[in-house]
Chains A and B, each alone.
Chain A
Amino acid sequence: DADVTQTPRNRITKTGKRIMLECSQTKGHDRMYWYRQDPGLGLRLIYYSFDVKDINKGEISDGYSVSRQAQAKFSLSLESAIPNQTALYFCATSGTPAGGPHNEQFFGPGTRLTVL
């Protein structure tokens, strides 16, 4: 089974709808991240979380919110989706259960979101 899973893998929605993307991990990592990828722009950080009680905005947080329901779960919400939020969204985790370097990130398979 995959260590970092994302649901759904693909989603098509309409402008104005509320959308939630979910991420779960079995790696025991404390830190989790949400990125979006747009063609030709690479990946950009939306939000990140150090632990359940610590959530931080990334480079492009406007129009998004997150929830860290548990150490293993980190959800991304689009309260009112708009077409320019059409992108590939990645969840990532970092950290080791016993401590140590926190910089290597492990990515989920991605969620392709289309907003019409």
Chain B
Amino acid sequence: AQKVTQAQTEISVVEKEDVTLDCVYETRDTTYYLFWYKQPPSGELVFLIRRNSFDEQNEISGRYSWNFQKSTSSFNFTITASQVVDSAVYFCALSDDSGGGADGLTFGKGTHLIIQP
């Protein structure tokens, strides 16, 4: 069975600090996809990144970066020079590729990130 663990329930940092959100996953499949979504206070879910299990390259997008390590089954998300607008709940999610990945995403419980001015 798939499982996603986000051990940090809530993180509070001061603006401009760097912050890393942890994500650990479990799956028996060799082909799978990992995701991060952002849920701002307005409630919608915003897609941030998708990574497949065969691509372990780290990715950087502006102030956001992701570190994927299969050896530790982790897919961590770092925000550099955090801003108040980064305040949100962040979800890590997992989907395998059997049946084309149509059986839905397994989400972690989310990390509530608070950026204080």
Contacts and interface: CB of A to CB of B under 8 A. Distances in A.
Tell me whether A and B are bound partners. yes
Interface of A: 31, 33, 35, 40-45, 48, 50, 56, 58, 88, 90, 92, 94-95, 101-107, 109-110, 112
Given A40-B9, A40-B109, A101 B91 contact: no
Contact of A33 (B4, B47, B104, B108): B104
Interface stretch (B55-63, B66-74, B76-84, B95-103): B95-103
Contacts, number: 67
13 contacts: A31-B100, A33-B105, A40-B109, A42-B4, A42-B91, A45-B104, A48-B102, A88-B43, A92-B105, A105-B47, A106-B47, A107-B44, A109-B43
B33 interface: yes
B104 A48 contact: yes
B75 interface: no
A48 B100 contact: no
A7 B39 CA distance: 20
Given A50-B99, A107-B47, 12 more contacts: A31-B100, A33-B104, A35-B104, A41-B109, A43-B105, A45-B105, A50-B102, A88-B43, A103-B100, A104-B35, A104-B50, A110-B45
Nearest to A31: B102
**What's the interface size class on B, roughly?**
20 to 34
B107 interface: yes
A107 B45 contact: yes
Interface string B22-64: 0000000000010101000001110100100000000000000
Contact of B102 (A42, A102, A107): A102
Given A31-B102, A48-B102, A102-B100, A42 B107 contact: yes
A14 B48 CA distance: 37
A38 B81 CA distance: 30
Contacts of A112: 43
Given A42-B107, A42-B109, A44-B107, A94 B102 contact: yes
A44 B93 CA distance: 11
Q: Looking at B44, B101, B105, B106, which has the most chain A CB atoms within 10 Å of its CB?
A: B105
